A and B are shown apart, each in its own frame.
Chain A
Amino acid sequence: MSAQPPSGSAGALPAEPGRAPSAEPGREAPAANRILREIFSGGAVVTVLAVVLALLIAGVLIAATDSGVQAAFGYFFAQPGDSFLAIGNAVGGAYSSLFQGSIYNFMRPGFLNGIKPLTETLTFATPLIVAGLGVALAFRVGMFNIGGRGQILIAAAVAGWISWSFPMPFFIHALVATIGAIVGGALWGGIAGLLKARTGAHEVIVTIMLNYVAFYLISFMLRTPGALQSAGSNNPKSPAALPTAVYPKLSDLITLFGGGPTTFRVNAGFIIAILATIFVWYIVNRSSLGFRFRAVGENPRAARVAGINVNMVYILAMVLSGGLVGLAGADQVLGSTPSGFSSGVDAGIGFDAITVALLGRSRPWGVFFSGLLFGALKAGSYTMQASEQIPIDIVLVVQSVIVLLIAAPPLVRTVFHLPKPGIQPRTRRTAGVVTK
């Protein structure tokens, strides 16, 4: 792979909806027409349609593998109605349990119990959001951070190590461990940035390889007494975090302010995710560093000519990106599972984060909401598996189909017969918004 950042070569999404079809005074279409066009050709509609289409495709998969449907199809020509009923049962059951597992469960009494699935969604969304922000930030600089897995592993190891070896007061301990995770992730991501800046090594390759290096490194340390292995244990598993380092649950806050006792798992990590989103929004959209980031992302050569230290931007971007992804590692070991971790602590978040960032079009709040969506899919999939025996892996299918579709808006437009965006020809435009 070339040392070129992928910016100049990326895909062909239309420009941001805001500045897509307008900007042609003189022969403008009537206003209403133009607005409709903007709505239908803009990113939002494509995104929604992509989600719908992906759920449809997953529905086909669910129906095709459902035993009831297969049985009904056995006598399709005798009673075709049965087949459709069976399909309705299978797919409807799947998606209603997906909803009940991720948003609101009508089966449970009372609002606080019914809303518990939504808090599960937030719990699952937290690491996806912060890691997605990291990947998105790198995208804005025209870089691919595929090293989420490695960065999460290293960050989790550092945060975990701090969380059980150094007793500290409440809050400070969690803070220090979180900072440790950020540093760990930033270092691991920074290697890729440094190598790209100094030698031109392509960050895609370096981050992929660093994933495995981190995996084997952590595996080794987890089975080595005195490193990360829990004392007196033969399993490759770390000790549990000290209670002072564990993120407090948000339900404790509710109780603090006079609410009833709840069993919500969602913890302070979600607050961190919101803060991180604001932080990234500020960095990218309001700071001079963010301006340099975007300038390099749009065109590294022009940025260099304009006096921006492109190599420094590469390093900084990967450091920041790795640090954000590292927050997901902290959330894993201090938030959702503080009882000690194994080498699978990354739980696929590193790769999920890429799809989250792509669905969010690399914009901070876009990433936030796409993280919520994928968090909901994850939370719901467990209910779906328990009540409908549909393997949770269907979520991976939905996720990847969504991303494939939003990466190729022309495909979605063809499927739904939507008008082409804009009036002016944009065939020459090659810069991809996916990566910006």
Chain B
Amino acid sequence: MFAFGIPRSGSSTFGLSTSRDFFQIPPVTVPTVGTVTVVAILLVVLAVVAHLFVDRGATGKVPLWLAAVFAVLFLFLFLTWAAAGLRSVPIPGLLIGSLALATPLIFGSLGGVIGERAGVVNVAIEGQLLFGAFSAAVVGSATHQPLVGLLAAVVGGVLVSWVLAAFAIKYLVDQVIIGVVLNVLVTGLTNFLYSKVLVADPALNSTHRFPRMPIPLLSDIPIIGPVLFQQTIITYLMYVAVFLTWYMLFKTRWGLRVRAVGEHPQAADTVGIKVQRTRFWTVSIAGAVAGIGGAYYTLDAVSSFGKEMTNGAGFIALAAVIFGGWHPIKAALAGLLFGFATNLQSTLGIIGSPVPSEFLLMLPYVITIFAVAGLVGQSRSPAADGKPYIT
């Protein structure tokens, strides 16, 4: 924060459209010092408003829109400061890249939210993503059908979560331990099969990627059109999944049962909900969702599987679950934020900004530590999260 005190003269330029866009918008150039000052003042005002909400508001919570506006303004401030006097910041490219990086994170975090709402801690998101990516690559390559590959990714994610569910629910082994060990198992298994099978037979490791499917009209909206509506089917599935997860968890009888099982399994059992069964199937669904996120790697981003290609995304997804307060929409927004932070470092690297990329990459993890320590907002997990239910 104090780093912004360092004066940076000149101006910052933002490119707002690419040459292929329907509407062409000229790049916007703003004077750096003035903009930074104005935005900083706005941020302070927002912080005061947030404080008032906490003090006087009925819920005692900062509303989501306020947090979102704050985050966006803060990022704008950061960009203006970081890009001063350099080449223009390609905003659409930055956002498209962020959404791309955020896609597996959001699927992973949805998987985490669903499982943990039912009371099963999922540290194995990384393993589910990785195994989803692997099965999508192999099956997608063998059948030359990306859709079949996507289905295989779902199955892969479910398989991993079945191991998690079996050990956590039937054998009552500590869920964090299973999660950690499952990550090692999936890493070992996919590395082994990659080196032994895929390297020997490259035909098993080259998928047809999903094509980009621009949505008519919507994709012509300036800035957000190319970002949101010129994507592959996996990204569109993600929009649906976020909404559906929220709707299913909070608006249906099934969701109420899942949440009851995660908050107070004994009470749920008393009213006739089958706790173990509910947990098992909920964790399976969670694995399926995370598996789709894995498919992103091998059916959307690139067309082949690589060793440990998820590269810790599962842990960022876990961070998004916690930072998002175990809420699907907030977790998705957290995933977006983390995707943005990850993509920002490469963009800043391209335009030659002096900010060391490592600190931006560190950001999601630092934010999460602050979040669990209660310094940024409150994060409260489902009450029976991680506790096996013993009848």
Contact = CB atoms under 8 A, between A and B. Distances in A.
B196 A407 contact: no
8 contacts: A1-B121, A144-B176, A209-B366, A216-B358, A355-B184, A391-B192, A397-B188, A435-B174
A146 to B, nearest CB: 6
Nearest to B187: A396
Interface stretch (B22-30, B43-51, B378-386): B378-386
Interface of B: 116, 121, 123, 163, 167, 171-174, 176-178, 180-185, 187-189, 191-193, 195-197, 200, 312, 315, 318-319, 322, 356, 358-359, 361-362, 365-366, 368-369, 372-375, 381, 383, 385-388, 390
Interface in A375-415: 390-391, 393-397, 399-401, 403-404, 407-408, 410-411
Contacts of B362: 212-213, 216-217
A205 interface: yes
Contact of A206 (B171, B369, B385): B369
Nearest to B362: A216
A430 B197 contact: no
Interface in A184-243: 195, 198-202, 204-206, 208-213, 216-217, 219-220, 224
Contact of B372 (A144, A206, A404, A430): A206
A355 B369 CA distance: 25
Given A146-B180, A206-B372, A355-B181, 13 more contacts: A1-B381, A11-B177, A205-B322, A212-B312, A212-B315, A213-B369, A358-B177, A393-B191, A396-B191, A396-B192, A397-B185, A403-B177, A404-B163
B192 A61 contact: yes
A12 interface: yes
- Chain B contact residues: over half helix, strand or loop, or mixed? helix
A2 interface: yes
A382 to B, nearest CB: 14
A213 B176 CA distance: 21
B128 to A, nearest CB: 15
- Chain A contact residues: over half helix, strand or loop, or mixed? helix
A65 interface: yes
B47 to A, nearest CB: 21
A117 to B, nearest CB: 22
A144 B200 CA distance: 39
A394 B194 CA distance: 11
Contacts of B180: 146, 351, 354
Contact of A65 (B196, B366, B373): B196
A433 to B, nearest CB: 11
Contacts of B178: 404, 407
A410 B171 contact: yes
B174 A10 contact: yes
B191 A391 contact: yes
A217 B368 contact: no
B181 A400 contact: yes
A434 B177 CA distance: 9
